[in-house]
């Protein structure tokens, strides 16, 4: 049997148990969420290089190409090629870098050549530095990485990858410097700094002005231009390049054309007029009083039936006629310079048949006396003619000029 006091105490006990359970639940949630909040780090300007794989290529070669592409891109992006305004973008493809001879052809482990247009380096201007995206595509494999770069005092090119080790050293040195509150403390600090610099032989190191540029000398086209940063004491020599086309020898160039010639195909025996000779050319029958067959032995002289008319120069192939024959001689290069920018003209000897020749339908047309005769059958053929010529061979030659400076005390 419950009393009033028991009911009051029981209600108090239940409230106490509920409070304990609520406190345990809150503590559990705090313990569970706190590591996640602590591990979260927002991005900042000191973010290191990030590599993100779009596909799990499992191909170390493709990943290695990102490093090669980065080196070529950092050399390519000189001061005049950098984006100027915030969020401006400058992009260079693998093909363009190869033209600049900053990188060779990239091939993956399956001998797939990387796409020259789809492989690229993209530079985006940020507020204080730049973000360099490197993208490589070889066949179906692709990879990219993001690198923070900028104009730092330790760069040997116009821009370079952020070196956090050097940045950390600078920050430590800055933290060690005392806060100057009056002139006496300032003079005391200056004396200490001067003493330290003297001990490390740094305070007295200076760089001389650059010498004049040297005369250009021939060099490998793989030589890279070098431009020194003003504050880079290790860079003492600058190199600039020029390329030009030069004659390196000669080669034999072949020029081709077609000529029309007459080929004796057969001899047929058939009925024909006794008063005429007959010849069949490309299926057509011709009647004549002369000896047409002399056409096969013409050599810049006139015969009883053919008259040599001289030589002509023409860029087109002359048509063959039954009473006129054009015999190919060779190429006409007199209007060409060192090389022929277009097809040259060609020489042909011209011969005219000096006997009457008439096209007829049959070998017995308008004939009173028919006999058996041997008739030559000719076919017009197209012949490939080749003319050879020695022409100059040109190639790209590379030259370098240098200038130097020295460390002076």
Mean pLDDT of 65-84: 89
How many residues appear in the chain?
A: 409
**Digit-coded pLDDT (tens) for 236-261:** 999 999 999 988 889 898 889 999 99
What confidence tier does 198 reach under pLDDT thresholds 50, 70, 90? very low
Using DSSP, how many helices (H) and how many strands (E) does the chain show? Answer: 5, 17
Average pLDDT of the chain, as a whole number: 82
Asked whether the predicted pLDDT for residue 347 surpasses 90, the reply is yes
Asked whether the predicted pLDDT for residue 47 surpasses 70, the reply is no
If DSSP codes are grouped into helix, strand and coil, which group holds residue 116? coil
- Give the pLDDT score at 93: 95
Asked whether the predicted pLDDT for residue 56 surpasses 70, the reply is no
- Give the pLDDT score at 4: 54
Least-confidence region, from 15-24, 139-148, 269-278, 287-296: 15-24
Residues 6+ apart with CB under 8 A from 247: 392, 393, 394
- Looking at residue 226, the DSSP 8-state letter turns out to be B
Q: Where are the domains of the chain?
A: 1-33, 50-165, 252-394
What confidence tier does 122 reach under pLDDT thresholds 50, 70, 90? very high
Asked whether the predicted pLDDT for residue 170 surpasses 70, the reply is no
Asked whether the predicted pLDDT for residue 15 surpasses 70, the reply is yes
- Give the pLDDT score at 19: 79
| φ and ψ of 327, to 5 deg | -105, 120
Question: Higher confidence at residue 142 or residue 349?
Answer: 349
Least-confidence region, from 66-80, 194-208, 252-266: 194-208
- Give the pLDDT score at 1: 44
Separation between Cα atoms, residue 136 and residue 51, nearest integer Å: 12
Mean pLDDT of 172-201: 46
Asked whether the predicted pLDDT for residue 194 surpasses 50, the reply is no
Element (H, E) at 383: strand 370-404
Residues 6+ apart with CB under 8 A from 65: 106, 108, 114, 119, 136, 138, 143
Return the percent helix, strand and coil in the chain, to nearest 5: 25, 40, 35
Confirm if 277 and 288 have CB atoms less than 8 A apart: yes
Calculate the CA dihedral of residues 378, 382, 388, 394 and round it to 10 degrees.
180
Separation between Cα atoms, residue 249 and residue 260, nearest integer Å: 36
**Digit-coded pLDDT (tens) for 287-298:** 999 999 999 999
- Give the pLDDT score at 409: 66
Separation between Cα atoms, residue 104 and residue 322, nearest integer Å: 62
Least-confidence region, from 163-172, 325-334, 335-344, 364-373: 163-172
Residues 6+ apart with CB under 8 A from 8: none
Instruction: Give me the DSSP letters along 27-92.
Output: HHHHHHHHHHHHH-----TT---EEE-SS----HHHHHHHHHHHHHHHHH--GGGS--STT-EEEE
């Amino acid at each position: 049997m419950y009393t009033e006091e028991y009911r009051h105490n029981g209600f108090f006990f239940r409230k106490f148990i509920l409070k304990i359970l609520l406190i345990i639940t809150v503590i559990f949630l705090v313990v569970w969420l706190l590591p996640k909040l602590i591990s979260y780090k927002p991005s900042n300007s000191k973010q290191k290089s990030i590599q993100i794989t779009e596909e799990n290529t499992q191909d170390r070669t493709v990943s290695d190409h990102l490093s090669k592409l980065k080196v070529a891109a950092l050399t390519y992006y000189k001061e005049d090629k950098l984006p100027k305004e915030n969020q401006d973008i400058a992009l260079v493809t693998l093909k363009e870098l190869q033209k600049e001879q900053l990188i060779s052809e990239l091939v993956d482990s399956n001998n797939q050549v990387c796409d020259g247009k789809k492989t690229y380096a993209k530079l985006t201007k940020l507020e204080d530095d730049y973000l360099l995206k490197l993208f490589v595509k070889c066949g179906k494999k692709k990879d990219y990485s993001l690198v923070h770069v900028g104009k730092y005092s330790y760069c040997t090119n116009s821009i370079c990858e952020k070196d956090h080790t050097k940045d950390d050293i600078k920050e430590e040195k800055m933290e060690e410097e005392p806060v100057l509150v009056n002139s006496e403390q300032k003079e005391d600090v200056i004396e200490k700094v001067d003493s330290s610099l003297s001990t490390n032989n740094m305070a007295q190191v200076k760089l001389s002005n650059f010498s004049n540029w040297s005369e250009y000398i021939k060099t490998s086209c793989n030589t890279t231009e070098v431009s020194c940063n003003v504050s880079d004491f290790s860079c003492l020599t600058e190199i600039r390049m020029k390329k030009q086309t030069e004659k390196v020898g000669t080669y034999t160039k072949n020029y081709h054309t077609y000529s029309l010639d007459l080929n004796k195909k057969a001899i047929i025996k058939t009925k024909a007029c006794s008063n005429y000779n007959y010849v069949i050319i490309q299926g057509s029958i011709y009647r004549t009083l002369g000896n047409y067959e002399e056409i096969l032995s013409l050599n810049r002289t006139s015969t009883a039936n053919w008259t040599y008319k001289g030589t002509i120069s023409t860029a087109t192939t002359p048509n063959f006629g039954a009473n006129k024959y054009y015999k190919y001689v060779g190429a006409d290069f007199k209007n060409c310079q060192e090389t022929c920018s277009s097809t040259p003209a060609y020489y042909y000897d011209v011969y005219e048949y000096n006997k009457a020749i008439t096209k007829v339908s049959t070998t017995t047309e308008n004939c009173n006396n028919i006999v058996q005769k041997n008739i030559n059958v000719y076919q017009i053929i197209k012949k490939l003619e080749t003319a050879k010529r020695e022409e100059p061979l040109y190639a790209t030659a590379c030259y370098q000029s240098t200038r130097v400076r020295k460390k002076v005390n």
